[in-house]
Structure 1
């Protein structure tokens, strides 16, 4: 089999240049809020209703909670609603890896291999066509940074965190911000406190959580 090395080299250079440009252009974005996963957005009843229609929530935590496996039974998506009267107002979304010892019964989403956030964040390992092509051509796995999410990948997508905690092989990046959410279906804007926690082990993301909660009212002025 003949290889046309000039053409191959040009294609490889283009692929590497694209990967490097993507990495460099995403090094220091303004901090952004990652508000949804798998099409479900915090405080967006319509998106939750479309995703959750036909599924029954659990009641063992005092609020409505929904649990789903991905198609490979390696990742769990947990959605938490505001109340039993308003289960589609999602206040917390959590995604985490699980192993064979995890034996809880959850719904299985056969069409979803990964639970990906709006910012392109996911846990575990995800194969991509570009990542495989570059790895085969160069011999360096994940050179395109498409297969796993590390701390630098996350800060490239979301900006620098509000807080960083490091304990041995574990690293946690925390993003927090007070913001306003306006329900797409209408209604007054609500001031909420947004918090996101991303946990890495050996520099690979294995769990993340995004949450909103009411901002405490300021204390009344003293006389």
Structure 2
């Protein structure tokens, strides 16, 4: 049986039983192998824009005897995926800007999928804002800490009636973009650990900045840090 990291195992847990999977940026192909091996999904398409990772995925698929269940495709995002070929699309292990690019460039395919499992490694507020503005409804959120890093992830689906035309968002929505609505309301324990860590880091930065000569740039940076600390305090209040 293939072994995968807690981060990938948690992302795999957001994929429904019996769903055909498209794994975008598959790298080693471990998630499709893990899910097929456990008979959680019937088939998968492992996709990557780079030939090196795709060849590694092919080697692992052969090693585990999964050639009849897992295809491999060279693909920029979901460009090589046809409508209706996959029920769920997994986009994990890449920056938030790239996640948004894949959703935008593959809009038709992504909107037709039953669900998308996203695990952006950066720019979470921008990704969550993009999802709301473009009609993606969040079904579930998860968060893990692995090797000293925090990894939020989510399962979403497109709903045309949920497209937001708002010119601005409330303070509460901005808080949810930063930390995740479900993670906050469910008082997720890993988010709590992250909030405590973030508060300490930002407080240390504020202390360092306060000891520097006053300039416009330093003053602006201090304001930014104070704003983050204020949001952090509001998020921590969920746990009281």
TM-score (norm 1): 0.29
Greater strand share, 1 or 2?
1
Greater helix share, 1 or 2?
2
Higher relative contact order (Cα pairs below 8 Å, separated by 6+ residues): 1
TM-score (norm 2): 0.28
